[in-house]
Amino acid sequence: MKICYIVAMEAEAKPFVEKFGVEKVESAFGKLPCQLYQHRLSEKDSLHIVVNGQQHGSSLIGCEAASITTLKAIETIQPDIVINSGTCGAFKKNGAEIGKVYIGNGVMFHDRRVMGDDKWYTQSIGNYRLSKLSEEIAAALNMPMGKVTTGSSLDIQPCDLEIMAQHGGELKDMEGAAVAFVCSLLDIPCLLVKSVTDLIDGGENTLDEFLRNLAHASEELSKANVRIVEHLINK
């Protein structure tokens, strides 16, 4: 099985990269900044971790970078499954805790307010299908599940919260739906793994809380990903 991880930030990927001892492939995507790390797990299994890369000295985040990275990764690697691994915000009222890792059971955009008929609205919010392995992995590894909603901003507005509430959104990120969108176009199974850095209803400044908890959440994310990879190759 070719397992391809899409990760936005180097800080999110670093613990996972170090645990597997993957090797960096130089200039794998030409002039694009995304970076490829890969490792042969067995005669028939391989792990590929693709990170968005940097521009202007900082990690590229958000939907545009995630879409480009996912498209080039699929074209180059031709994986059997794409896994978007990253951090997220979540709700304390739903039992979320800093560093808690979830498997996505749905994904959509929460900040696309497109007026029009049902077809335009359906396209704008997404609600992309995720891999049928999602529930199996969550059950086998005793991991909680939650619906991921994606937006282009770190903060969140009241209108975004309304859309999340209407559609059962529990985990807020900036990449998941973009990755799932590309996978849906190319018919590639997609799995989402999200670790909580900030509590949307916790009353703290989002950026301060995110930065304070990024290292811890990324470490917990790495531990979960090791278990997920082991489960996939031992199926």
Q: For 1-55, how does the pLDDT look when each residue is reduced to its tens digit (9 = 90+)? A: 999 999 999 999 998 898 888 899 999 999 999 999 999 999 999 999 999 999 9
Options 12, 111, 160, 220, the catalytic residue: 12
Q: What is the pLDDT of residue 19?
A: 86
- What is the signed CA dihedral for 114, 120, 125, 131, rounded to 10 degrees? -170
Cross-strand pairs, 190:
82
- Active-site annotation holds for 97: no
The pTM of this model reads 0.95
Cross-strand pairs, 101:
195
CA-based nearest residue to 226, from 41, 95, 25, 68: 41
Determine contact, residues 125/112, Cβ cutoff 8 Å.
yes
List the Cα angle 33/36/37 in 5-degree steps.
145
d(CA 181, CA 127): 9
Confidence band for 224, pLDDT divided at 50, 70 and 90: very high
Options 111, 170, 175, 198, the catalytic residue: 198
- Active-site annotation holds for 26: no
Helix intervals (H) in the chain: 10-20, 63-77, 118-125, 133-140, 158-167, 176-186, 206-233
- Please say whether the structural domain 2-233 has been given the CATH code 3.40.50.1580: yes
